[in-house]
C-alpha cells in the first residue's frame, strides 16, 4: 500500500541537477505517482473523463514549469497541489458538477458498502472529500494539506474535523439502518 518507498527509489534521480527532466526520469516519476493521483481525482470528482484530463494537465504543468529539484515526497506533494488547484479552477469556472455520476465498477466490494460509500461521498462537499482523502489516504499532516490546498493549517484542522464528523455520521447512520 505504501508507495512512497518506491517513489523514493525511482525519484532520487530528480535530485541530480537543476536541469530539465528527461523522458526516462519522467516515466519513473509518472509510474510512481500517476495511479495515486488518478485515484485521488476520481475520489474527489467521481468522473473518469474529468479525472484523466486533470491528471494529464497536472503532469504537463509540472514539466513545463520545471520546478527546482526536490525529493520524492516533495515532488509527490507538489503534484497533488497542482492537481488540487486544477480541480478548484474547474469548479470555479463551473466546468464540472462534482459527483454527478459514479462510474461502473467503482464500489464493487459488496452492495451494503457500496451504498454507504455512495451516500457518504455524495453528501460531502468537494473540499471535504479533498481534505479527507489527503489526510487519510495520502497520510498528509495538516501543514502538508495546507500547502496542497492553499488553506491555513488552522482552517485545515477545523474543516477536517467537520468533514470527518459528517462522513462518520453518514457512514454510521447507514450501517445502523441495515
Partner 1 sequence: MNRILCERESDVVETLRRGSFSDELRGHVRSCSICTETQVVAEMLLQTASLLRVEHEPSAAGLVWRLAQVRKNEIALKRATRPLIVMRAMSAVYVVFSAAWLLHYFWRSGSMESISGWNGFLDETAWFGVAIAVLAMAIGAWYLLRDGGHSVEGIPST
Among 50, 99, 116, 146, binds partner 1 (CB under 8 A): 116
Nearer to partner 1, 134 or 147 (CB): 134
By the 10 Å C-beta count (0-12 exposed, 13-18 middle, 19+ buried), 110 is classed as exposed
| Interaction of residue 154 with partner 1, rule CB under 8 A | no
Q: Which of 12, 15, 95, 137 binds partner 1 (CB under 8 A)?
A: 137
Question: In the chain, where does DSSP find H-type helix?
Answer: 4-11, 23-45, 48-65, 72-93, 111-123, 126-132, 142-149, 153-177
Rule CB under 8 A: say whether 158 interacts with partner 1.
yes
Query: Among residues 108, 176, 177, 178, which is the contact residue for partner 1, using CB under 8 A?
Result: 108
Residue 107 DSSP label: T
Can residue 133 be called a binding residue for partner 1 (CB under 8 A)? yes
CB 86 within 8 A of CB 57: yes
Distances (CA, A) of 125 to 54, 63, 162: 19, 31, 11
Angle between helices 72-93 and 23-45 (to 10 degrees): 50
Q: Is 165 in the site for partner 1 (CB under 8 A)?
A: yes
Between 15 and 112, whose beta carbon lies closer to partner 1? 112
Binding track over 28-57 against partner 1, x by CB under 8 A:
--xx--xxxxxxx-xx----x--xx--xx-
Residues 6+ apart with CB under 8 A from 170: 116, 119, 120, 123, 124
Beta carbon of residue 88, minimum distance to partner 1 (angstroms, whole number): 20
By CB under 8 A, residue 69 contacts partner 1 = no
Interface residues toward partner 1, by CB under 8 A = 1-2, 23, 26-27, 30-31, 34-40, 42-43, 48, 51-52, 55-56, 59-60, 63-64, 105-109, 113, 116-117, 120, 132-133, 135-137, 139, 141, 157-158, 161, 164-165, 167-168, 171-172
Amino acid at each position: 500500500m505504501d508507495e512512497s518507498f518506491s517513489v523514493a527509489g525511482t525519484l532520487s534521480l530528480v535530485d541530480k541537477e537543476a536541469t530539465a527532466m528527461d523522458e526516462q526520469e519522467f516515466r519513473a516519476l509518472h509510474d510512481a505517482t500517476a495511479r495515486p493521483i488518478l485515484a485521488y481525482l476520481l475520489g474527489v470528482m467521481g468522473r473518469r473523463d474529468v479525472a484523466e484530463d486533470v491528471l494529464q494537465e497536472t503532469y504537463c504543468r509540472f514539466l513545463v514549469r520545471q520546478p527546482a529539484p526536490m525529493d520524492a515526497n516533495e515532488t509527490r506533494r507538489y503534484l497533488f497541489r497542482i492537481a488540487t488547484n486544477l480541480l478548484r479552477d474547474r469548479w470555479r469556472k463551473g466546468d464540472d458538477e462534482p459527483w454527478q455520476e459514479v462510474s461502473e465498477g467503482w464500489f464493487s466490494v459488496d452492495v451494503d458498502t457500496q451504498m454507504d460509500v455512495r451516500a457518504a461521498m455524495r453528501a460531502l462537499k468537494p473540499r471535504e472529500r479533498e481534505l479527507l482523502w489527503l489526510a487519510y489516504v495520502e497520510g498528509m499532516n495538516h501543514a502538508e494539506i495546507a500547502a496542497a490546498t492553499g488553506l491555513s493549517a488552522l482552517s485545515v484542522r477545523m474543516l477536517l474535523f467537520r468533514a470527518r464528523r459528517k462522513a462518520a455520521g453518514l457512514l454510521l447512520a447507514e450501517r445502523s439502518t441495515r
